[in-house]
Amino acid sequence: MVGLAYAVFDTAIGRCGIIWSSTGVVAVQLPEAREIDTRRRIFQVHPEAREQPAPLNTELAIEGIVGLLQGSDPDFSYVSLDAGGVPAFNRRVYEYTCTIPRGETRTYHEIAKALGASGAAHSVAQAISKNPYMIIVPCHRVLEAGGYADRISPYGGVISKRRLLALEGAHPIASKTLFEVLLPVAPSRSPS
């Protein structure tokens, strides 16, 4: 196989996509509201990818993703990933993220500390936000301080971390209030 290929497949939450190379899985796209939007997202990020039948490594990844989204606890350790374009720090973050057990979460700060880079919580957040291997690398198990579960990578589609964690039985899941979201962007009041 030369270049990239992709396939779209059914899951309990909608039609997902997976992109691969001869080296391994390049990215997983969780479903958008419509299949055409999922395909559009794949083409935006990987315009050179062509739809093809999935090879064994990719089939194993698909089976695991389908299983996890139905509530099982698949083992993705046998799935080869193509990390050619992934920065070294991000790879370290993803490797650590894969050790977080199902139903548990960690914060960006906890991962930075575990990696020996305690001041790098922002860098961990950036790596998690760019995770191309949705579900295979369970970035939904990594939360902001306070347990907020709202952000997900660009490959996340319309699915939230909160929903993915609920599928795994992780509790409690916090969400920011409207006040917490608007306070940082509220205009300052002029002194009276």
Q: Report the catalytic residues.
A: 139
d(C-alpha 121, C-alpha 182), whole Å: 23
3-class SS letters over 37-86: HHHHHHHHHCCCCEECCCCHHHHHHHHHHHHHCCCCCCCCCCCCECCCCC
d(C-alpha 15, C-alpha 134), whole Å: 14
- Which tokens go with 90? 């991000």
